[in-house]
């Protein structure tokens, strides 16, 4: 699956969870400490535009604030990201960042943003009582890629302490525990 298809699939699942949040669900506690369901959407909508702008000069169109309409804010945001990935003029663009160097734009979106959407799908689902199932193959691949970077990831402050789970747990459980979520 190429990065555009990957984003369409993963963001589509997240979109289903966003649309599935009950009217009274946006203020329910999320698995990320100090966050509620609305904050999960806010995180994705708020961090990526600056990352993209700084690394490429691309400005994503803004939707309404997450605080007033999280569904419309997410839809505007995900449509804008998909448009970048689908735009043939972006195929040869690079993203440059002092921490990661220079990467093809679609690779950078996949590695940093789409992966984040994938992980936060579970957070939103858990917060709002929806289907928490994540693709087991993707969970296994992500976990295998993250395990060797344990110290670096932990020191970034983006992941909580690892949660202990049984060794024979499925890939989703082990991945979530690795990033500091309590999946049990």
> pLDDT of 92-106, one tens digit each?
999 998 888 899 999
Q: Report CA dihedral (65, 71, 77, 82) to the nearest 10 degrees.
A: -170
Dump pLDDT digits (tens) for 21-37.
999 999 999 998 899 99
Q: Do 123 and 145 belong to one domain?
A: no
Dump pLDDT digits (tens) for 57-103.
999 999 999 999 999 999 999 999 999 999 998 889 999 988 888 99
What is the CATH classification number for the domain harbouring 68?
1.20.120.450
How many separate domains does the chain show? 2
Q: Do 127 and 41 belong to one domain?
A: yes
Query: What's the domain range around 89?
Result: 3-132
Q: Do 28 and 85 belong to one domain?
A: yes
Q: Do 101 and 155 belong to one domain?
A: no
* CA 23 – CA 141 distance, rounded (Å): 35
């Amino acid at each position: 699956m190429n990065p555009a298809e990957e984003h369409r699939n993963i963001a589509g699942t997240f979109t289903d969870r966003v649309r599935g949040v009950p009217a009274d669900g946006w203020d329910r506690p999320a698995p990320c400490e100090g966050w509620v369901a609305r904050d999960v959407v806010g995180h994705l909508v708020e961090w990526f535009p600056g990352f993209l702008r700084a690394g490429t000069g691309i400005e994503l169109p803004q939707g309404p604030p997450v605080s007033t309409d999280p569904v419309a804010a997410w839809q505007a945001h995900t449509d804008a990201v998909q448009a970048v990935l689908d735009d043939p003029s972006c195929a040869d663009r690079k993203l440059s960042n002092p921490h990661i160097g220079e990467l093809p734009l679609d690779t950078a979106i996949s590695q940093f943003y789409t992966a984040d959407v994938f992980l936060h799908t579970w957070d939103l689902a858990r917060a709002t009582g929806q289907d928490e199932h994540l693709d087991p193959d993707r969970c296994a691949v992500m976990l295998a890629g993250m395990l060797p970077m344990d110290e670096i990831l932990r020191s970034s402050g983006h992941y909580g302490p690892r949660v202990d789970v049984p060794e024979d747990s499925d890939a989703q459980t082990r991945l979530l525990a690795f990033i500091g979520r309590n999946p049990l």
